[in-house]
Structures are given as structure tokens and as C-alpha cells.
């Protein structure tokens, strides 16, 4: 968008009328951050002089027709002071540091006026901080609730799939209690306790909550575990890390949502001396109380640890039968045995698959269509073979982020004569993968990766597949890389630029 606007500067009036059509400029994005150039370096690539020309020549002509505006931290102040935006109702603030954003919310009168009088939809993107226990996030959140008198939709730190900002200390809001008009909230929080305090605190009008939780532990304070949440209509709950508190914390929370119409769960659950989660347990534990529920979407993995007791785990057929006759849509399930008869993993997920991510895929994968998935994490102690990756390239056609964790040597390399294509893959993480997977993905004869720009792998694997940077550099999928993480310091070889032409200045 920035480049397009800059091309409009100093053109003739007739073309201006066409270029500044209200349908085109009503959603104005003055950043380049939507297409992140690097997973590790996320600074803006917009030239200051280009922005200055846009401020001077373009914004003065279109400001009154802008309904949605996206800005970055370093340019927001000048953009808001260049013109008034009387039609503006949606504001997206990208690439902000915690403290700087907090300062703007406290001291910038123009921003505060917009938030108080106009903004109904707000999106916040905050850079990750090393101080994971910072209370600034809760202060920012509280300021937003107090300032935004008309706010109905808020995305707080979850604008990008690989840039999730996890806020902390939301229990502080519970003490202050600032009633909010907020109807829909999308947010990442550090703990389930933060989630509970949000639901029990100021969000009195909330009907939709989309939340990612990093970890669970038993809450403290005066939260009523039986208090109903009758206004909540849509609830999406995601936790990638394993939780052992599903039965004692998450299930009781779900039972409080008596008027829920849509439920979405993505969980990895650990259980001791127990069985796998199945359709019967879903119904008996919480679905029977949700009489208004119209849609239930889920991906649940259960890891059971039954070393010292005799527990008969369900078979895959048992799991499938548990969903029959209870109103479920189509469900896929598979059981993955581990080190003993009563120690295993079961995954169940609803179809059609409705998540952007699939975590901990292993060799038990049965195939299917996953056209919404953009992020895939693979993990197993048994080698991933060529035929599995061929299947994944077909079943995950829109995949952008791939992480492989597997230290097992591949057994069936002769199949690699068939070229595999991942047309949209931009991020590839091979740090915890055996060197065979680097050879499979990074040699052009094996894999076609036209959009790969970020790579993480062990330096030893890199030197192995390149034969210490002796092999022909044109045989590798390196030419478009803008970010390379080899997990250790290294001395750049003399011909480094031949392998990584876009990284030459970065490693100077």
C-alpha cells in the first residue's frame, strides 16, 4: 500500500481522481509489516522519505475518506498530526514496544481523542519483551478499556500467526473493575488465571472471547468457580503447551458457559492413571449443559501416563464409537502407542478442520484436507519418510510455517526422486531435525520452495549438505533467504554470498 500511494504523488488530476477512489482508500495501511520480511528482525522497511512525501502530497487529499487505518510505532505520531480522520472507526497499531505504547496512550492527546470519541475496532501488535513478568501489558489493557468509550472489538497482541504477544498480570484489572463496552476480544495471556480474571472482571458485555493461553496453574484470589457466564456466546480456547489441569480447571470453566452457541478448543492434555478424552466425556462433562450450542470445533491430544496401574485404554474404534449418536460432526481420531501397553497418545479433531495450526503431527497422521492450516509442527521418534512429506504437500496446500523435530535417520531415500512443492512456505525450522531433512528440503532437486525466506537449522547440518560450502550454490533453496539462524556463532566463509546473496550485508 505504501508503494502504491507513493506512486500517486505528483501525477495528473484525472489519474488522482481514479487512484483516490473511496472504495480503494477506505482501508489505509501505511506499513509494510503485513508481509514480515524476517521472523527474527521485524523492523519496518518503509523509507522515511517515502512516508514524508505521502504525508505531504497524499494524506491531505484522502484523510476524510479513511475508515480503517494501520500504522507503525515510529510513524504514528506524524500520521495522526498530518490530518483529521472524521470517518475513522478502526485503528491498527503495529510493531510497538510496550513502554512506548503505554506512553502514547497516556500522553498523546490526538490518539486519546480518537480512542475516546471514534474508535470501535482496535488492533494492537506489541513487540515481544524479555521481561515476561512485565505488568505494563495489563496497564495498557486497562488504559484501552478506560479510554475507548465506544470500543466493541479488540485484538490485543494476536495479529500475526508467528508474532503472538502474551500479556500478564490481568488480575490487576479485577481489583480496579472498569466496566467495558467490549463485545469481542481476541487476546493472548500467560496463564489460565489471567483468563479467569478477565471473565470475572470488567468485560461485562463480552459475547465473544478468542484466547490463547500459555500455561495453567491453580488460580488465586476470590474467583467464584461456579459463577455462570450467561452473556458469552462464542468461546475459542487454545493452549499449545501440555496441561495437566484439564479436568479440574478447564472443564469447570466450560460448565459456566451455559448460553454458549459456538465452542472451539485446541488442547494438549496430560493425564495420569486415566483414559483418553473421547466423545462420551465431552458430552458428560460439559456439552450436556450447553443447550444453545450450535457448533463445536476441536483438536484435542491426550497423553496418558499409566505406569503403575492397570488401565485399559480405548482403541481407535472405541474412540470413533464414542462420537456416534450425540450430534457430533465428522471426527477423525488416531491412537499412537508409546513405550508400553498403557502409555500412549490419542488425537481427535473435528472435520472440516477449522484451525490455522496443527501441532505435533506424527507418523500416525491419516491424511485429509487442511486448507486453512498455515503452521505445522511435526514431532516423532520414528523417521519421517519422503512419502509423508509428499502427502503433506497435498493435504496442507497453504502451509507457510513448518517446524520438524525428528532425530531419526530417514530409511527410504530412493523415493526422493519425486519433486515435492510447498508453494507458500516462508518459514522452515530444522533445528531439531536430523541432517537428512535438511538435505530433503534444501536441495532443489528434492524440494521446490519458491517463497522460502526464513531458515533455522544447525550449522553442522548446513556444512554437511553443502560439503563445507564446496558444492554448487545454485543447487540449494537459499537464493531468497532474508533470515538465517544456525543456532551458534560461526565464521562466514569467503563464498558465503554465493549461497545467500540476500544475507551478505547482514553477516558483514
What does the pLDDT look like over 435-461, one tens digit per residue?
999 999 999 999 999 999 999 999 999
* Residue 11 pLDDT class (50, 70, 90 cuts): very low
Q: Are residues 469 and 490 in the same domain?
A: yes
Q: Are residues 362 and 487 in the same domain?
A: yes
d(CA 344, CA 275): 10
Q: Is residue 18 part of a domain?
A: no
Domain count along the chain: 2
Q: Are residues 419 and 434 in the same domain?
A: yes
* Residue 284 pLDDT class (50, 70, 90 cuts): very high
What is the chain's mean pLDDT, rounded? 85
Q: Is residue 35 part of a domain?
A: no
Q: Are residues 379 and 493 in the same domain?
A: yes
Given this model, what pLDDT does residue 412 score? 80
Residue-wise over 76-111: b if at least 16 C-beta within 10 A, else e? beebbebbebeebbbbbbbbbebeebbebbeebeeb
Q: Are residues 399 and 505 in the same domain?
A: yes
Q: Is residue 239 part of a domain?
A: yes
More confident residue, 177 or 150: 150
Q: If you average pLDDT over each of 83-97, 318-332, 392-406, 476-490, which comes out highest?
A: 392-406
Q: Are residues 396 and 495 in the same domain?
A: yes
| Poorest-pLDDT segment among 174-188, 192-206, 225-239 | 174-188
Q: Are residues 301 and 405 in the same domain?
A: no
Q: Is residue 321 part of a domain?
A: yes
From 291, 321, 355, the end of a domain falls on 355
What does the pLDDT look like over 211-249, one tens digit per residue?
999 888 776 666 777 889 999 999 999 998 999 999 999
Q: What is the pTM of this model?
A: 0.88
* Residue 25 pLDDT class (50, 70, 90 cuts): confident
Given this model, what pLDDT does residue 56 score? 72
Q: Are residues 346 and 485 in the same domain?
A: no
Q: Are residues 345 and 363 in the same domain?
A: no
Q: Is residue 166 part of a domain?
A: no
* Residue 18 pLDDT class (50, 70, 90 cuts): very low
Q: To which residue does cell 477449522 refer?
A: 354
Q: Is residue 3 part of a domain?
A: no
From 304, 337, 355, the end of a domain falls on 355
Q: Are residues 481 and 361 in the same domain?
A: yes
Q: What is the dihedral of CA 205, 250, 364, 336, to 10 degrees?
A: -170
Reply yes or no on whether the pLDDT at 489 is more than 90: no
Q: Is residue 72 part of a domain?
A: no
Q: Are residues 363 and 496 in the same domain?
A: yes
Q: Are 239 and 213 in contact (CB under 8 A)?
A: yes
| Poorest-pLDDT segment among 97-111, 209-223, 355-369 | 209-223
What does the pLDDT look like over 296-353, one tens digit per residue?
999 999 999 887 777 888 999 999 999 998 888 899 999 887 755 447 899 999 999 9
Q: Is residue 209 part of a domain?
A: no
Domain that holds residue 422: 356-508
Q: Are 447 and 437 in contact (CB under 8 A)?
A: no
d(CA 303, CA 275): 9
From 355, 389, 418, the end of a domain falls on 355
Reply yes or no on whether the pLDDT at 151 is more than 90: yes
Q: Are residues 440 and 391 in the same domain?
A: yes
* Residue 3 pLDDT class (50, 70, 90 cuts): low
Cell numbers placing 365: 497422521
More confident residue, 16 or 78: 78
Amino acid at each position: 500500500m505504501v508503494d502504491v500511494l507513493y506512486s500517486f504523488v505528483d501525477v495528473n488530476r484525472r489519474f488522482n481522481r481514479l487512484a483516490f477512489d473511496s472504495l480503494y482508500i477506505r482501508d489505509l495501511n501505511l506499513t509494510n509489516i503485513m508481509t514480515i520480511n524476517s521472523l527474527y528482525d521485524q523492523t519496518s522497511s518503509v523509507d522515511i522519505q517515502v512516508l514524508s512525501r505521502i504525508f505531504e502530497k497524499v494524506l491531505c487529499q484522502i484523510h476524510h475518506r479513511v475508515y480503517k487505518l494501520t500504522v507503525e510505532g515510529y510513524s504514528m505520531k506524524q500520521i495522526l498530526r498530518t490530518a483529521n480522520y472524521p470517518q475513522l472507526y478502526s485503528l491498527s497499531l503495529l510493531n510497538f514496544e510496550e513502554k512506548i505504547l503505554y506512553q502514547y496512550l497516556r500522553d498523546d492527546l490526538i490518539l486519546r481523542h480518537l480512542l475516546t470519541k471514534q474508535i470501535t475496532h482496535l488492533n494492537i501488535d506489541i513487540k515481544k519483551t524479555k521481561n515476561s513478568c512485565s505488568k505494563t501489558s495489563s496497564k495498557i489493557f486497562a488504559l484501552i478499556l478506560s479510554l475507548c468509550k465506544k470500543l466493541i472489538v479488540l485484538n490485543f497482541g494476536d495479529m500475526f500467526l508467528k508474532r503472538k504477544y502474551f500479556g500478564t498480570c490481568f488480575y490487576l484489572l479485577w481489583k480496579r473493575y472498569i466496566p467495558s463496552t467490549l463485545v469481542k476480544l481476541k487476546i493472548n495471556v500467560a496463564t489460565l488465571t489471567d483468563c479467569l480474571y478477565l471473565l470475572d472482571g470488567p468485560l461485562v458485555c463480552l459475547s465473544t472471547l478468542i484466547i490463547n493461553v500459555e500455561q495453567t496453574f491453580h488460580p488465586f484470589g476470590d474467583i467464584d468457580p461456579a459463577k455462570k457466564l450467561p452473556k458469552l456466546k462464542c468461546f475459542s480456547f487454545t493452549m499449545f503447551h501440555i496441561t495437566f489441569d484439564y479436568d479440574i480447571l478447564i472443564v469447570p470453566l466450560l460448565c459456566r458457559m451455559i448460553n454458549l452457541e459456538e465452542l472451539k478448543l485446541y488442547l494438549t492434555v496430560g493425564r495420569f492413571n486415566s483414559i483418553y478424552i473421547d466423545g462420551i466425556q465431552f458430552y458428560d462433562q460439559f456439552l450436556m449443559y450447553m443447550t444453545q450450542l450450535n457448533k463445536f470445533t476441536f483438536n484435542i491430544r491426550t497423553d496418558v501416563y499409566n505406569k503403575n496401574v492397570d488401565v485399559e485404554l480405548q482403541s481407535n474404534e472405541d474412540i470413533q464409537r464414542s462420537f456416534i449418536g450425540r450430534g457430533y460432526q465428522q471426527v477423525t481420531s488416531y491412537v499412537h502407542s508409546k513405550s508400553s501397553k498403557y502409555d500412549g497418545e490419542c488425537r481427535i479433531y473435528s472435520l472440516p478442520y477449522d484451525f490455522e495450526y496443527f501441532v505435533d503431527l506424527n507418523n500416525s497422521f491419516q491424511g485429509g484436507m487442511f486448507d486453512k492450516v498455515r503452521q505445522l509442527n511435526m514431532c516423532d521418534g520414528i523417521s519421517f519418510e519422503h512419502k509423508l512429506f509428499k502427502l503433506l504437500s497435498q493435504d496442507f496446500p497453504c502451509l507457510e510455517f513448518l517446524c520438524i523435530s525428528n532425530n531419526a535417520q530417514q530409511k527410504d531415500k530412493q523415493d526422493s526422486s519425486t519433486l515435492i512443492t510447498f508453494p507458500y512456505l516462508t518459514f522452515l525450522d530444522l533445528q531439531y531435525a536430523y541432517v537428512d531433512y535438511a538435505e530433503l528440503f534444501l536441495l532443489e532437486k528434492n524440494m521446490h520452495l519458491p517463497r522460502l525466506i526464513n531458515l533455522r537449522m544447525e550449522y553442522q547440518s548446513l556444512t554437511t549438505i553443502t560439503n563445507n560450502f564446496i558444492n554448487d550454490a545454485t543447487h540449494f533453496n537459499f537464493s531468497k533467504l532474508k533470515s538465517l539462524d544456525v543456532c551458534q556463532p560461526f565464521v562466514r566463509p569467503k563464498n558465503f554470498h554465493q549461497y545467500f546473496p540476500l544475507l551478505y550485508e547482514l553477516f558483514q
